[in-house]
Chain A
Amino acid sequence: MILKSTLRRIGAALIVMIGISMLIFAIARVMPGDPARIALGPNATAEQVAALRVERHLDAPLPVQYLEFLKALSRGDLGRSLYTNRPVTTDIAQFLPATLELVVVSAIIMVLIGLPLGIMSAHFRGRVPDHVGRLIALIGVCTPAFVWGVILQLFFGYFWPIFPIEGRLLESTPPPQGPTGFYLIDSLAAGNITTFFDALHHLVLPALALAMSGLGQTARLTRANMIDVYDKPYVEMERAYGFKPFRIATRYAFRPAFIPTLTILGLEFAAMLGNAFLVEKVFGWPGLSRYGVEVIIRKDLDAIVGTVLIIAAAFLIMNIVVDILVGFINPRIRLAAGKA
C-alpha cells in the first residue's frame, strides 16, 4: 500500500536525521574557537567563561554531550542560543515561517513558469520559441540567485520602482497574527486583504530571484524529457490518430516526461533552501537562513545544530512528498504498490 511505503520512507528519513545530527553535532564542536568566549565577549573574565563551559557541558567528551543533546531533544528542547539567549526552538519558530514562505512561493513560481517554458521549447523544437525558451532557461541556470536579487532590485526597485526591495511588509503594516507565520495565509485567514497584497508585493522580487535557477533547470529538464518522449511510438500513434498537437504537448507527452522531472524538482526545492541564505541577505528578509549565518559566525552550537536539523527535516519531508507524488502520477509504481 501507499501508506506502507510512505511509512518505510519516513523510517529511512529518521535514520538520516540521526546521522545528520551526529555529523553536524561533531562538526560544530571541532570548529576552532571557544563558543563560550565568543558568546561572552572579550571583556568576560576567565571564571565566567569556565562557568559557562561547565553549564553547557562543553568540557565533557563528545558522546556524553551528544547524549545530553538527545535527552533534551526527546523533551522537544533544542537547547539555548548563546547569541539571542533564547531557546533555539523559539528562535526557529520565529524565523522559519519567513523562509518557508519565501521558498514555497519560489517553488510555485519555478513550477508555474519552468514547466510551460519547457513544454513550449519541446513543442516548438528548433524554432524561435524554443531558442527563446532555452536562452531564458540557460541564463536562469547559470546566474547565481543573489546576482538575480541584485539585478531585480536594480531594475524593478530602482530604475522602475514598482516593487519594494526589503523586508516582508511595509513599516506601517502591522504583521498579521496567525498560527502559520506565513503572512500570505495568516492575512487571508484574518480577512485582511491589504496586508495580503502588501506581503505578496514584498515577496515577488526575492521569490523570483530565488526561483530563477530552479526555473531554468526545470525548463531544461522538461524540454529534454519531452523530446525523448516525442520519439516514443505512442506519440506517433497519437499523431496518427489526429490528437491535437497542443493536447499531446500538454497532456499525452507531458505526463510521461514529468515523472523524471518531478524527482529533480524535489532536489531543486532543497537547493532553494540553501540559496535562500544569500537571497535573504540581499533582500533583508528576516528568515531562518539569515539567522543560520549569524549563528555559524558566532559559533552558537545549539543554534547551529537546531537550524541544520530543521532544514534537513524540511528537505527530507519534501523528498517524501515528491516520492508520493511520483507514485501517484506513475501508474506502474502506483499499481505495483497496490499489489505489494
Chain B
Amino acid sequence: MTDCVLTIRDLRLAFGSRRNNSAVLHGISLHVRAGEKVALVGESGSGKSVTARLAMGLLQESQKVHATGSIRFDGIDAIDGGREIASRRGNRVAMIFQDPTSALNPTFRIRGQFRDVLRSGDRRISVADADARAEAALAEVSIPDPKRALDSYAFQLSGGMNQRVMIAMALANRPALLIADEPGTALDVTVQAQTLSLMHELTEKRGTAVLLISHNLGVVREFADRVYVIYRGRIVEHGTTAQLFRDPRHPYTRALLAAIPKISGGGLPDLPERSPDFESPMITHEGCSEPEGLNP
C-alpha cells in the first residue's frame, strides 16, 4: 500500500460555545494516498469545505471551533492546528478556491503575492530568484506573458487567468497535497473545464495528491480516482470512481447522480430528505476500506 499523505479518522466538529454548540461533522474518516486524486462530494452545507479547512489547520484557532478525532498530514498531527501544520501551508499543502479573482488581494500586484507564496517554501529566497521562479511557474500554466501577469492586479486579469495564477501558486512549492475547494465554480463552464484539465495534467506529472471538493459529479467522474460521498457531516458512501458511478448503493448517492442536470428536464429527484434511508449506515465498496493504523 502506498503512503498516505492525509489520514482523517473519526473527525467530529462542532461550532459554537462549549455548552451551546451545533455539531457539523459526525465522525468523518478518509485518506488520500501520495499522488492519488480523491473527491469529496456533497451538497452545500454537508461539511466538505470545513473538513478540508480543518485538514489545513485553518479553523482551529477560533475558540468557537471544537474538533476531535485525528488528522494526520505529512507525518504530523493537525487536529489542534498549531505551528507545525501552519509551517506546511503553502509549502507541503496548498489550496485552490472557488473564485480565483476574489482569492487574490485586490490591493497588491500578483508579483508581491507570488513572492510571499514562494517564501512559504523557502524563507530565504531572494527577490530575483522568486521572480524568476514565478515567471517559470506562470509559463507552465500557459500564461502568455508572465511578466505582464505578475505586474497586474487580479482585477485586471480574467477569471480564467486568475485561476491559472492560482494553480501556479498552489503548485509552485511542489506540495504533497493540493486541496481544490470547488475549483472554478465561479468561472464559466468552458474556462472551468480548461483549468481543471490543466490542474489534472500538472498534478499527474508531478505526482501531487489532490483532494477535490465538489458538488459536480461530472467533474468528479473525469477527475478523481476515488470518491467519498458526504451528507450532513457523515461519509455515506466510499468507493472508486468506477464502482460508485456504476453501482451507487446509498440512496443519497443515487439522488445525487439523478440530480445531474439533463437538457430534457432531469431536475431534482423527488426524494424526501428526512427519509430513514438517509440515516442508513455508510457503504464502503469492495477494496476501499480505510487503512489500518494512523502512521503512514
Chain A residues with a Cβ under 8 A of chain B: 126, 232-234, 236-243, 247, 252, 255-256, 259, 329-332, 335
Contacts and interface: CB of A to CB of B under 8 A. Distances in A.
Contacts of B107: 255-256, 259, 329-331
Contact of A239 (B89, B102, B153, B155): B89
A242 B95 contact: no
B116 A241 contact: yes
Contact of B56 (A234, A240, A331, A332): A240
List the 7 closest A-B pairs by CB distance, nearest first.
A242-B90, A241-B90, A242-B120, A242-B89, A240-B95, A237-B103, A255-B107
Nearest to B52: A240
Contacts of A233: 97-99, 102-103
B184 to A, nearest CB: 13
A236 B99 CA distance: 12
B87 interface: yes
B131 to A, nearest CB: 17
Interface string B159-171: 0000000000100
A127 B104 CA distance: 28
Q: How large is the interface on B (under 10, 10 to 19, 20 to 34, 35 or more residues)?
A: 20 to 34
B151 to A, nearest CB: 11
Contacts of B109: 331
Nearest to B166: A237
Interface in B68-100: 86-91, 94-95, 97-99
6 contacts: A232-B102, A234-B102, A241-B116, A242-B89, A252-B113, A255-B105
B154 to A, nearest CB: 8
A232 to B, nearest CB: 7
Contacts of B63: 126
Q: Which of A126, A241, A252 has most B Cβ within 10 Å?
A: A241
A251 to B, nearest CB: 8
B202 interface: no
A247 B86 CA distance: 14
Contact of B95 (A126, A232, A237, A256): A237
B104 A241 contact: no
A256 B108 CA distance: 9
Contact of B120 (A243, A255, A259): A243
How would you classify the secondary structure of chain B's contact residues: helix, strand, loop or mixed? loop
A115 to B, nearest CB: 16
Contact of A243 (B88, B94, B95, B116): B116
B155 A252 contact: no
B116 A234 contact: no
Contacts of B88: 242
Contacts of A243: 90, 116-117, 120
A240 B98 CA distance: 14
B106 A331 contact: yes
B97 A237 contact: yes
A44 B56 CA distance: 87
A240 B102 CA distance: 14
A134 B63 CA distance: 20
B117 A241 contact: yes
Contacts of B102: 232-234
Given A234-B106, A237-B104, A242 B58 contact: no
Interface in B37-88: 56, 58, 63, 86-88
Contacts of B94: 240-241
A232 B101 CA distance: 11
A276 to B, nearest CB: 33
A126 B106 CA distance: 27
B295 interface: no
B86 A252 contact: no
A195 B152 CA distance: 49
Contacts of A331: 106-107, 109, 153
Given A126-B63, A233-B97, A331-B153, A239 B58 contact: yes
B156 interface: yes
A62 to B, nearest CB: 50
A284 B153 CA distance: 51
Nearest to A252: B105
Nearest to A254: B107
A259 B105 CA distance: 14
B150 to A, nearest CB: 14
Contacts of B155: 332
Nearest to A237: B103
A208 to B, nearest CB: 31
B255 to A, nearest CB: 30
A241 B169 contact: yes
B80 to A, nearest CB: 16
A259 B108 CA distance: 13
Given A256-B105, A335-B156, 6 more contacts: A126-B63, A237-B97, A242-B90, A243-B116, A329-B107, A332-B106
Nearest to A243: B116
A200 B291 CA distance: 71
A234 B103 contact: yes
Contact of B89 (A232, A234, A240, A259): A240
Nearest to A329: B107
A223 B98 CA distance: 27
Q: Which of B56, B88, B105 has most A Cβ within 10 Å?
A: B105
B121 to A, nearest CB: 8
Contacts of A252: 105, 108, 113
Given A252-B108, A256-B106, A332-B106, A240 B90 contact: yes
Contacts of A232: 102
Contacts of A239: 58, 89
A53 to B, nearest CB: 60
